[in-house]
Chain A
Amino acid sequence: MLNIFEVSETNKMIEKENLDVRTITLGISLLDCIDSDLKKLNDNIYKKITTVAKNLVPVGQEIEKEFGIPIVNKRISVTPIALIGGSACKTPEDFTTLAHTLDEAAKAVGVNLIGGYSALVSKGMTHADKLLIQSIPKALKETERVCSSVNLGSTKTGINMDGVKLMGEIIKETAEISKDEDSAACMKLVVFCNAPDDNPFMAGAFHGVTEADAIINVGVSGPGVVKTALEKVRGENFEVLCETIKKTAFKVTRVGQLVAQEASRMLDIPFGIVDLSLAPTPAIGDSVADILCEIGLEHAGAPGTTAALALLNDQVKKGGVMASSYVGGLSGAFIPVSEDQGMIDAVQAGALTLEKLEAMTCVCSVGLDMIAIPGSTKATTISGIIADEMAIGMVNQKTTAVRIIPAIGKDVGDKVEFGGLFGYAPIMPVNQFSCDAFINRGGRIPAPIHSFKN
């Protein structure tokens, strides 16, 4: 039978160490909504989302109360809209109407974000993909809760460099169009290599075409819990360090698995995956960078950071895998800058640079995340940063992503404020040398040799 110490340990994690379930994300297939009439398509999408997700928020709240654990976000992901809108949308503006419908549906069911305003163009772009991508700046500016993602490459297909070039321009345009709010619309836009079909985290969540009609995916979080556990083993060797992370990750993930199963049962929607994640927030004590410091670094970014992050990420997975029956999504430690107070401190102290962050993305999920750069950065330079990150994902057979914010009108030394879970970010310097000729070549980078496994 349970004892008082075990019960207190769990409640201490929740009350003092920010243990929470970061998101319950309901994936909904919109394939059966497809129609060549735009109005009908919009109606079908609204009806499907508001029917399937009707009880998502109340069920989430009920689970919070029953188990006494906060569920920070309830969200929805849908089939990539470029596929759904292809037959009805003839212009970027037509696609924007779908973004408005997603936004309205999200508001109607009370979820804070809806993902899937997406295109999968890892090898080539259809006409519809291109229209959707062109509509992204306006769609994100005019809506509140819609998130957009574009998959630009994969280990199997190589990298679509035409797409990379286009997305550099689109990110810049998205920043321009929302310059009155610190270019905040860029927070809702992410580009991927090897994008997973079942990711519950925004802005990159979409409901892949390989998925069932509806599915529950859950993302857990607990950087504070890992940090507190590591405080007790200061000075011990790597074996002890790794065992401690593993055991803690197991406990955290078990909560996610429990919540996922309960949500699945109560909503009568199948359980998909638990994303084994360490997702930070700007709250004090909820930081991945603080774990790296606890492992033994003065600041995130110091020499040793990549190794420390690699072991952290690996132990989180090793502990988490046994705690859940199905794992998926992005699974690993997240290293966003603006959403992690420890990362912000490291940037401000001069310890953490864009190049070091890029190295860190080789060993963790996901990529260059929530990084503010000068608004004057050229579109081709943004494309160059994206291409580098896509190459890391392609060659290492892992998911990588880029979510950067070129803050229009701001430069190194300034900062951008996003508020709430998104936090704030100091503007980071970007390498000023040109990659224009590289980006302007056009075409695609072939798949790497180790992708030919058949």
Chain B
Amino acid sequence: MKKTIITVVGKDTVGIIARVCTYLADNKVNILDISQTIVQGYFNMMMIVDTSGATKSHGDMADELNALGEEIGVIIKCQREDIFSKMHRI
């Protein structure tokens, strides 16, 4: 399993999760976990996804998700899980 973390940060609006999930489904990325908070109108979401069956490379998905974020008006980042697990787990 190749775990990737997708984070979405920005002003809350209708359909953010729907747009991101649609993109992931179209590219055969399986969502393992979603957590989300809204603090003072700001939307903050983290998804743990499995990209082992993905049709595109990590780099392409990162670029496309970034572009999708610009379209919706939020910041979407797509990073391999290791950077977080290495930093926060011994």
Contact = CB atoms under 8 A, between A and B. Distances in A.
Given A4-B37, A8-B44, A65-B59, A251 B87 contact: yes
Interface string A202-245: 00000000000000000000000000000000000000000000
Contacts of B7: 7-8, 11
B79 interface: yes
Given A67-B82, A255-B87, A7 B5 contact: yes
Nearest to B33: A1
A6 B79 CA distance: 14
Interface string B58-88: 1100100000000000000111111111111
Given A1-B48, A7-B7, A7-B46, A67 B83 contact: yes
Given A66-B79, A68-B77, A69-B83, A2 B58 contact: no
A200 B86 CA distance: 22
Contact of A2 (B45, B77, B84): B84
Given A65-B62, A67-B83, A4 B88 contact: no
B40 interface: no
A148 to B, nearest CB: 35
A325 B35 CA distance: 33
Contacts of B5: 2, 7
A171 B47 CA distance: 55
A255 B86 contact: yes
A58 to B, nearest CB: 11
Given A68-B83, A255-B83, A10 B77 contact: no
Given A4-B35, A11-B7, A254-B86, A66 B48 contact: no
A11 B45 CA distance: 13
Contacts of A254: 86-87
Nearest to B58: A66
Interface string A64-79: 0111110000000000
Interface string B1-29: 00001010000000000000000000000
Nearest to A62: B59
Contacts, number: 64
A3 B58 CA distance: 22
A254 B86 CA distance: 6
Contacts of B44: 4, 8
A251 B83 CA distance: 10
A258 interface: yes
Interface residues of A, number: 21
A304 B35 CA distance: 46
B24 to A, nearest CB: 17
Q: Is the interface of A mostly helix, strand, loop or mixed?
A: helix
Given A10-B83, A251-B87, A255-B87, A4 B58 contact: no
B46 A4 contact: yes
B58 A65 contact: yes
A183 interface: no
A257 interface: yes
Interface string A250-265: 0100110110000000
Nearest to B89: A2
A10 B87 CA distance: 8
A71 to B, nearest CB: 12
Nearest to B3: A2
Contacts of A65: 58-59, 62
Interface in A1-28: 1-4, 6-11
Interface string A386-421: 000000000000000000000000000000000000
Contacts of A8: 7, 44, 46
Contacts of B83: 10, 67-69, 255, 258
A93 B33 CA distance: 64
A2 to B, nearest CB: 5
A10 B82 contact: no
Contact of B79 (A3, A9, A67, A251): A67
A66 B84 contact: no
Nearest to B88: A6
B25 to A, nearest CB: 22
12 contacts: A2-B46, A3-B35, A4-B36, A4-B44, A7-B7, A10-B84, A11-B77, A62-B59, A66-B58, A66-B62, A257-B86, A258-B83
Given A2-B81, A7-B84, A69-B83, 8 more contacts: A2-B5, A6-B84, A8-B7, A68-B62, A68-B78, A68-B79, A254-B86, A258-B86
